[in-house]
Structure 1
Amino acid sequence: MIKKLFLFVLLFVFCSTSGFAQADFKLMFYNLLNFPLEDAVPDRLASLEFILDDYRPDIFMVCELNNEEGANTILSSLQTINPDYVSATFELNTSDDNLSNQNDLQQLIYYDSTKFILESQAIVTTIFRDFNHYKLKINSVEQETAPIVIDFFVCHLKASSGSENQASRLEMIEDLVIYLDDFPEDSNVVLAGDFNIYTDSELAFQRLIDPSNNITFIDPANRIGSWHNNPSFVDVMTQSTRTQTGLGGTTGGFDDRFDFIMTSENLSTNPDLSFISGSYDVYGNNENTNCYNQSINSTNCAGSDFSFAIRDALHNFSDHLPVILELQTNQSLSIPEFTAPKLLTILGSNVIDNTLKLEANLSLQNDLELIIFNSLGQVIKTVDVNNTLISLDVTQISSGIYYITSSRFQFKPLKFLVAH
Structure 2
Amino acid sequence: MNKLLLCAILIASLNLFSQDTLTFMQYNLLNYGNYTDYCTSINNNIEEKDQYISTIVQYLQPDVFTVNEVAGSEAIHQHLLDQAVNAGGSDKYKMANFIHVASPYLVNLLFYDHHKLTLHSHVIAQSLIRDVDVYKLYYNSNDLESGDTAFVVCVVAHLKAGNNSADADKRNTMAQNTMTFLENYGDDENYLLSGDFNVYTSSEEAYQIFTQYSNSSLRFSDPIDKPGAWNNNSAFASYHTQSTHSTSSGCPSTGGMDDRFDFILMSNNLKFGVKHLTYVPGSYHAVGQDGLHFNKDITASPTNTSVPPDVLTALYGNSDHLPVTLKLTVDKTLGVTDWIATDFQNIRFNNPVSSKIRLTITTTKPTKLYVELLNLCGKVVFKHTENLISGQNQLDLNVEGIPAGMYLMKMSGENKKTVTRKLVIN
Q: Fold-level match, TM-score > 0.5? A: yes
Structure 1 partner of 2:66 = 61
* 1:24-57: CA deviation from partner (whole Å, max 9, x where unpaired): 0111011010101243144222111111111111
The answer on whether the counterparts of 2:17 and 2:331 sit within 8 Å (CA) in structure 1 is no
Q: 2:171 aligns with which of 169, 176, 181?
A: 169
Given the superposition, is the C-alpha separation of residues 332 and 74 from structure 1 closer, same or farther in structure 2, using an over 3 Å criterion? farther
The answer on whether the counterparts of 1:23 and 1:332 sit within 8 Å (CA) in structure 2 is no
Measured after TM superposition, the shift of residue 235 of structure 1 is 1.2
Structure 2 partner of 1:128 = 129
Distance (Å, rounded) in 1 between the aligned partners of 2:303 and 2:261 = 18
Measured after TM superposition, the shift of residue 186 of structure 1 is 2.7
Distance (Å, rounded) in 1 between the aligned partners of 2:81 and 2:226 = 32
Q: 2:261 aligns with which of 258, 263, 266?
A: 258
Specify the SS of the correspondent of 1:207: helix
Measured after TM superposition, the shift of residue 301 of structure 1 is 5.6
Write out aligned runs for 1:19-168 (5 A): 21-37=18-34, 38=39, 39=41, 40-42=43-45, 43-66=48-71, 67-76=73-82, 77-80=84-87, 82-92=90-100, 94-95=101-102, 101=103, 103-143=104-144, 144-168=146-170
Specify the SS of the correspondent of 2:149: coil
Structure 2 partner of 1:216 = 219
Specify the SS of the correspondent of 1:300: coil
Given the superposition, is the C-alpha separation of residues 80 and 126 from structure 1 closer, same or farther in structure 2, using an over 3 Å criterion? closer
- Structure 1: gaps (5+ residues): 1-18, 96-100, 334-420
Q: Does 1:235 align with 2:238?
A: yes
* 1:218-258: CA deviation from partner (whole Å, max 9, x where unpaired): 00121111100111111111000002222403111110000
Specify the SS of the correspondent of 1:181: helix
Q: Which amino acid aligns with 2:294?
A: Y
Structure 1 partner of 2:320 = 319
Measured after TM superposition, the shift of residue 126 of structure 1 is 3.1
Distance (Å, rounded) in 1 between the aligned partners of 2:186 and 2:158 = 25
Distance (Å, rounded) in 2 between the aligned partners of 1:311 and 1:147 = 37
CA-based RMSD of the aligned residues comes to 1.8
The answer on whether the counterparts of 2:126 and 2:181 sit within 8 Å (CA) in structure 1 is no
Measured after TM superposition, the shift of residue 21 of structure 1 is 4.9
Given the superposition, is the C-alpha separation of residues 296 and 247 from structure 1 closer, same or farther in structure 2, using an over 3 Å criterion? farther
Measured after TM superposition, the shift of residue 107 of structure 1 is 0.4
Report the more deviating stretch, 31-40 or 322-331: 31-40
Q: With structure 2 as the length reference, what TM-score do the two structures score?
A: 0.68
- Structure 2: gaps (5+ residues): 1-15, 335-426
Structure 2 partner of 1:202 = 204
The answer on whether the counterparts of 2:237 and 2:294 sit within 8 Å (CA) in structure 1 is yes
Distance (Å, rounded) in 2 between the aligned partners of 1:135 and 1:22 = 21
Write out aligned runs for 1:235-384 (5 A): 235-271=238-274, 272-288=276-292, 291-300=293-302, 302-303=304-305, 305-331=306-332
Distance (Å, rounded) in 2 between the aligned partners of 1:310 and 1:147 = 35
